[in-house]
Chain A
Amino acid sequence: MTNNHSPAAIRVHGLRKSYGSQVVLDGIDFEVATGTVFSMLGPNGAGKTTTVQILSTLISADGGQVQVGGHDLALDPDGVRSAIGVTGQFSAVDKFLTGEENLVLMADLRHMGRSGGRRRAAELLEQFDLADAAGKPVSTYSGGMQRRLDLAMTLVGDPRIIFLDEPTAGLDPRSRRTMWQIVRGLVASGVTVFLTTQYLEEADQLSDRIAVLDHGKLVAQGTAAELKRLVPGGHMSLQFGDAAVFERATRLLEPTARDDEALTLDLPGSGDVRSLKSMLDRLDGVGIEVDGLTIHTPDLDDVFLSLTGRPEANLEPRPETQSDTREAIAR
């Protein structure tokens, strides 16, 4: 939850954006506390990149109030620009220059002076494990190296608020973990990070708060633990062979859900060995055969799919609006 002691680094209220008749952002609200990681999670086309582009002054909003680093986005975009660093989804490096030249270019544009710029470039090359490739043209870099350089360029002026639009998209697992370490290091030094991702594990690993964006609306936000509580908890599913056995088992056990078509019962429980054994012993005692057993523990995937997995046929407005979700969190 928002820390009352530190002011919000990013405040967004009623943010709207449409392209023609297509509504991309339909009035979203959120706050990001200073020194925390805020993840915006959503499927492709949900409006994540549009949000980053608006907050980083690349495109203008159609409505709503936004403050970034204490600067109003509409009134003082240059103030916002001086407070932020952005690493977009597409590589924003100059491929004709070397890694070092790219970093010095950023330092020059931030007016850091010749020696100050060179020193900072050298530090970042070291920190991002690019020192060996510093003098090589970026066009010879691997994908992971380009991503690291991209982020290093963002950090040249020590911005206090950083936007990362899908920072690990297309990276191999090792590079992804390196990127996570870098993000953790940034937050430890007091930087605020706003990141978008499609990877639930990434949001779970890094974020203090997560917002789920779907069709231009925030359908849920909270900590990873809070979001996991939104979906049905852990359960065991039992599958039976015929209707008679199914009926007997239903009377014996106390299922939280039954599916008469599929002949499955859902039972509460996290699926630990003891409760599993006692349940199977009870069924065994009265001679009931179980055809199949699955154990289900909730993760962010459940949250993601249950909040954004709207069937195509069901086009009417969703019951879980943002305020409902907040109530759910309060409960």
Chain B
Amino acid sequence: MNIHEYQAKALFEKFGVPVPKGVAAKSPAEFASALAQLPDAPVVVKSQIHAGGRGKGTFTDGFKGGVKFAKTKTDALDYANKMFGNTLVTIQTGPAGRKVQTIYFTHASDIKKEYYLAILLDRVTSRPVIVASTEGGVEIEKVAHDTPEKIFKIVIDPAYGIADFQVRELIAKLGLAGSEAKNAAKLIRNLYTCFWETDAAMIEVNPLITTPTGDVLALDAKVSFDSNALYRHPEIVALRDLNEEDPKEIEASKFSLSYIALDGNIACLVNGAGLAMSTMDIIKHYGGTPANFLDVGGGASKDQVIAAFKIILGDPNVKGILVNIFGGIMDCNVIATGIVEAVKEVGLKLPLVVRLEGNNVAAGKATLANSGLALVSGDTMADAAQKIVKLVA
């Protein structure tokens, strides 16, 4: 689960991670009172959406920059009005972009130097890793590619937690000394505590800055949480912003379906994530384009299949559907009956290819064949994929 920058910074403050003073506004009516809470000095106006690359993003009406430096509060108000309700497209949003529904005003800090700091899981060691760089405020992938020697990592032993010597080592590599070093050490320790205690999946601060007065601040904040651990963090669940999620995905999650919308025109409905991914792959292999990823899980009950069809059909690009179920334990005939009922209930008009395999498959195929529906049966994944690609061509 992702949260907004302004929410992440409130969380940082709770854990003693310094951030520039800032106030969020959820409607234009709140802009003036929000700005009044900031000192009379330059302000940074920041669009709040769940995607990176905001600064270099462009709004659909042509306005450039989802993050703006404003010399005066009057300018800040003007920028905020241009951003609010507008749709911001960044390298991470996809071409559809995201509608800006919250503006975050922050005090514009004096920057001495920018750094990069992140905490996440290192899959190789199965331990948390802190990643830092002297090159902040830029694309970190580019730094990692061009100058890997400027990226430093410390892996944390979960049995002990973050050790002082590791923090000292990291700070020395970043070239920090004096009060900067002291402040950075405290910030890194507190940020790690925040990561660990909240079951965060990833925290990224880009940039982390030093100021001319020796302060160290998190100028930006991206935080995502392990969805498996949300049950023990109701305070974090309360930060969820449904505006940032695809309504179809929200609907899918109510039926324990895992759905991700894509750009193609062949919808798929599959049991199991690995099989669902490879069903998309095989559609592509035979010249089609998948409209979605949809995993109905191990069960594939009638209610789930009906819900899945409704969600799929909510996408106007869909021209055909491929159902691929490996009913290992589940009775294929139960699944087939569910598919037939679902098709009748939603009044499906589009081409439908069904590939069923597994337990009691002969009865399942007979149910499909005798349903009177215009569905096509596929024997293997390859056969089914070729058939649906041909039908929508």
The reply to whether chain A is a binding partner of chain B is no
